[in-house]
């Protein structure tokens, strides 16, 4: 797999920072994010269905959820070889139901209609071309299949501050920032800060723009899902993690504008 320089930096960044997060955060995310309640679907929604976790990360936090919802045919891909190895190690108990592959979501070589459900949380906005990613997902999804994506919103203090700090971070070498952040903050906060500041691509959307990203490539029945419950009672997570804010409230609008946008959509039956 040939990667551009920015893709190599992305793979290297997430391969390094995803393994430093706290175990309690991983356990909470694995058990509480990808649930039938949060997706607003039946508990057996994925029984007999082929699933793709597009950008599984170093912990593979979505894999238990896909398994819990009934799928026994799961493909987990990531740009980082380190993330794939770590996700496989972290999910050993259900590994027989998962195929792990190092792959770029912009250049997937799966046949058309390979999957019935695609989950892609916090990944599309870190690619060179979110449009290409959505096109690939549509091609690889079976008619009537569903996709769930999580995207950065736009506006608010948190996102605006991150944009300013990204400009400052350009003059601070990553290795120096890595040591400094780990020294000053806890592990979970370190992951969030380094993610914000050093990933090469970072796109943001209003809710209408996020929905348009899916609809213009053919997806239908697009709906925004509610925010998942807070994963930890942590000061740093509650300050830095967009999904901790409810954008329907005044505080949420002030802090994160359109918030953390989670969309569920469907490829038409024909």
Q: DSSP alpha helices (H): ranges in the chain?
A: 5-17, 23-32, 36-39, 63-68, 81-90, 130-140, 156-169, 174-184, 187-198, 207-215, 235-240, 250-256
Q: Give the structural domain span for 242.
A: 5-266
Q: Which of 58, 72, 49 is nearest to 29 (CA)?
A: 58
CA angle, 34 as apex, 231 and 124 as ends, to 5°? 95
- By the 10 Å C-beta count (0-12 exposed, 13-18 middle, 19+ buried), 225 is classed as middle
Number of compact structural domains in the chain: 1
Q: Give the domain CATH number at 84.
A: 3.40.50.150
Lowest mean pLDDT among 11-25, 90-104, 208-222: 11-25
pLDDT digits (tens, 9 = 90+) for 203-237: 999 999 999 999 999 999 999 998 877 777 777 77
Going by C-alpha positions, the residue among 51, 174, 37 that lies closest to residue 118 is 51
Kindly tell me if the per-residue pLDDT of 134 is higher than 80.
yes
Whole-model pTM: value is 0.96
Whole-number pLDDT of residue 89: 94
pLDDT tens across 48-84, in order? Answer: 999 999 999 999 999 999 999 999 999 999 999 999 9
């Amino acid at each position: 797999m040939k990667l551009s320089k920015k893709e190599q930096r992305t793979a290297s960044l997430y391969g390094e920072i995803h393994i430093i997060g706290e175990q309690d955060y991983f356990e909470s995310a694995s058990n509480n994010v990808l649930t039938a309640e949060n997706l607003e679907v039946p508990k057996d929604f994925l029984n007999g269905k082929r699933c793709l976790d597009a950008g599984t990360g170093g912990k593979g936090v979505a894999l238990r959820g896909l398994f819990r919802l009934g799928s026994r045919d799961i493909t987990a891909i990531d740009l980082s070889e380190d993330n794939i190895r770590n996700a496989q190690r972290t999910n050993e108990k259900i590994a027989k139901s998962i195929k792990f592959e190092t792959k770029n979501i912009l250049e997937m070589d799966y046949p058309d209609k390979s999957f019935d459900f695609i989950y892609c949380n916090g990944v599309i906005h870190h690619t060179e071309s979110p449009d290409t990613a959505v096109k690939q997902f549509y091609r690889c999804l079976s008619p009537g299949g569903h996709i769930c994506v999580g995207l950065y919103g736009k506006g608010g203090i948190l996102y605006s501050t991150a944009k300013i700090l990204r400009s400052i971070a350009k003059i601070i070498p990553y290795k120096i920032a890595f040591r400094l952040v780990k020294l000053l903050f806890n592990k979970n906060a370190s992951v969030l800060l380094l993610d914000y500041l050093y990933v090469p691509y970072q796109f943001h959307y209003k809710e209408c723009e996020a929905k348009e990203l899916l609809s213009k490539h053919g997806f239908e029945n697009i709906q925004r899902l509610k925010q998942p419950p807070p994963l930890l009672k942590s000061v740093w997570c509650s300050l830095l993690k967009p999904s901790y804010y409810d954008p329907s409230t005044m505080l949420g609008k002030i802090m994160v504008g359109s918030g953390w946008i989670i969309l569920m959509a469907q490829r038409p039956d024909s």
